[in-house]
Amino acid sequence: MNSRVSLSRRLTLTVLLLELLAAVVLIGIVTNHERKVRFEAMDANLRATSNALFGAVQEAETQNGSVKLDAHGVSIPDQAIYSVVADDSKTLGSQGDMPAFPQNPGGVTKVRVHQRPFRFYTLQGERIIDPESPRAITHHVVIRYGMPEGRAWHAVFEATRFFAIATIALLGITALCLSWLVRRFLFPIRELAEEADQIDTERWAFVAPESSRRFTELQPLASAIEKTVARLHRSFEQQRRFTSDAAHELKTDIAIIKSSVQLLGLRERTVEEYQSGLASGMQDIARLEATVGKMLTLARLEQSVQAETESCELIEALDESIQQAKAFAELKRVSVTRPLLSEAAFVGMAHEDASLLCSNILMNALQHAPENSSVEINVALTDGSVSMSFRDYGPGILEADLPYLFDPFYRGDASRSRKSGGTGLGLSICKALCEHAHGSIRITNNKDVGAVVTVTLPLLAIQAEI
């Protein structure tokens, strides 16, 4: 089962996830910066307190020039650990249990004291008693002062927590605003979908809502839907008209056959009359069979996909069509002329289809050509295509009929006269054959007299090898 996915929900979640990822990265950067600032301040405080302790080392009130520590003016927290040692042996003052660690004069050392992390600063200096006297005494003083890192980490965590809470609150507000904005911005799409949903076989009118036309991104979609609906409407109308016309044609042929059979059964007839009636019925059946055959051909061309291997020589198929129509042309006393060509024209069409195309157009021209006239065929090869035109000297075509000549069963008169003997499918099949081969066909009236049918087909690559 296909699960439905909400585009607005997915878009909102994507934006929020990106914002969350950016917030996590930013929190990490802020935490690292805050840690750096806090520990730099802590190290500065360690140095300052160590210097203050060094300043508290003073001359003792003795005759031997010793020193003492007077730390009353120095603020030392209870959790601090320090020691002041003079001359590597005499401890002037201390607080807490000083751990053993390598001395790093002027630097900070990380040491764990009772499983707690401390930072110690080591300061080395000299205190000189009576520096102006020849009996000046120099004392080497080493001060180690340390503080637990917990206070600094606590400050870092507090700052990070505040920033994280503010970020989460901002994400929540962003989620609400984004959800509202996405629904608002997607409203034109929903309105467009609702308008498109109203289309059915009884209502083909589609006008894109004004809201969808205001957005540049939605204009192509609205225009595409309008064009698609228009094409579907035309195709639907053509299909409906084709079905109606086909039913009319088949019904007429069947009615003629039925009438012929009923007429034979009205009274006793001679053998010759029965034979004549049967012959007439066979002609009607043949006409019905031809109509069905053309309908099947048209359906095949409109639904099938051209095979890449289909090809034929068009001039050869044209000559065969001229030869087949020779008897009909002589009967009507119409001459068919075609200039001789030294070049071959290979097109992407089966030989049978090319013959059918040429034959349909030629027979149509012969039917409309007056006696003692001619049908002129011209073939021209241009860059990558071949153009084939058929001109007759008949009465031409009414301007009102030109747009509908390729519609199935259209004969140019409302009564659908059967005098020509055609089915009205010939030109429709010709158009389908040309489009199937990626070509075109058009019909125009000659400026003097008669009509001209022009077929243009692309030449195959094999043409260049000949």
Task: Average pLDDT across each block of 10 residues of the chain; the chain has 466 residues. List them in order.
Answer: 67 84 89 92 93 88 78 88 88 90 89 92 87 79 92 90 88 85 79 78 75 76 81 76 67 74 77 79 76 70 60 90 90 88 84 89 90 91 89 87 78 47 74 88 86 91 54
Whether 45 and 87 share a structural domain: yes
* DSSP 8-state assignment for residue 203: B
| Residue 414, pLDDT score | 41
Q: For residues 249 and 423, is the Cβ–Cβ distance under 8 A?
A: yes
Specify the number of domains making up the chain. 3
Q: Is 388 helix (H, G, I), strand (E, B) or coil?
A: strand
Looking from the CA of 359 toward its CB, the CA atoms found within 13 Å total 16
Answer left, alpha or beta for residue 96, where phi above 0 means left and psi between -120 and 50 means alpha. Answer: left
Instruction: Say what the pLDDT of residue 415 is.
Output: 36
Hey, which residues does 440 pair with through a beta bridge?
Answer: 456
- H helices of 266-379, in order, are 271-303, 314-324, 326-332, 351-368
Position 214 in a domain: no
- Pairing verdict, β 374-382 and 335-337: parallel
Q: Which residues, in sequence order, are CB contacts of 432 under 8 Å at separation 6+?
A: 298, 301, 302
Note whether 377 and 315 are within 8 A (CB).
no
Domain presence at residue 168:
no
Last residue of a domain, one of 118, 141, 157: 157
What span, in angstroms and rounded, lies between the C-alpha atoms of 182 and 303? 43
d(C-alpha 277, C-alpha 257), whole Å: 10
Percentage helix, strand, coil for the chain under 3-state DSSP, each rounded to 5? 50, 20, 30
Say how far apart CA 367 and CA 377 lie, in whole Å: 15
* Pair 67, 58: CB distance under 8 Å: yes
| 459, β-bridge pairs | 347
What is the DSSP code (8-state) at residue 105? Answer: B
Domain boundary among 133, 157, 181: 157
Residue 367, domain member (yes or no): yes
Cα 82 to Cα 253: distance, rounded to the nearest angstrom = 120
- Rounded to whole angstroms, what are the CA distances from 440 to 27, 301, 381, 393, 458? 67, 14, 15, 23, 9
> Count of residues for the chain?
466
Tokens linked to 5:
């996915």
Whether residues 126 and 88 fall in one domain: yes
β-pairing, 137-148 vs 81-86, is antiparallel
Closest CA to 417 of 249, 261, 293, 258: 249
Looking at the fold, whether 276 and 321 belong to one and the same domain comes out as no
How far apart CA 215 and CA 131 sit, in angstroms, is: 88
Is pTM beyond 0.95? Reply is no
Residue 435 lies in a domain: yes
* Residue 15: domain span: 7-157
Flag whether 332 is in a domain. Answer: yes
* 350 and 264, same domain (yes or no): no
Q: Give yes or no: residues 316 and 454 share one domain.
A: yes
- Concatenated DSSP letters of 200-213: BTTB------HHHH
Do 290 and 317 belong together in one domain? no
State residue 410 phi and psi, 5-degree precision: -85, 130
Single residue among 157, 176, 195 that ends a domain in this structure: 157
Which residues lie across from 200 on neighbouring strands?
A: 203
| Percentage of residues of the chain with pLDDT beyond 90 | 22
Residues 277 and 331 in one domain: no
Both structure tokens of 364:
């149509």
Same domain, 20 and 50: yes
| Structural domain includes residue 19 | yes
Dihedral angle computed from the Cα positions of residues 162, 165, 170 and 173, in that order, rounded to the nearest 10 degrees: -140
Same domain, 274 and 340: no
Alpha-carbon gap, residue 131 to 451, rounded angstroms: 130
Q: Is residue 360 part of a domain?
A: yes
Q: Look at residue 166 and tell me if it is in a domain.
A: no
Domain CATH code at residue 350: 3.30.565.10
Provide the pLDDT for residue 244: 67
Beta strands in 20-115 (DSSP E): 57-59, 67-69, 81-86, 90-95, 108-113
The C-alpha atoms of residue 240 and residue 340 are separated, in whole angstroms, by 44
Contact 375, 362 (CB under 8 A): yes
Residue-level pLDDT at 422: 58
Q: Do both 329 and 283 map to the same domain?
A: no
Q: Are 50 and 123 in contact (CB under 8 A)?
A: yes
Half-sphere exposure of 454 (CA within 13 A, CB side): 11
Quote the CA–CA distance of 444 and 399 in Å, as a whole number. Answer: 9
Please indicate, yes or no, whether residues 316 and 460 belong to a single structural domain of this protein.
yes
Q: Is 232 helix (H, G, I), strand (E, B) or coil?
A: helix
The answer on 75 and 146 residing in a single domain is yes
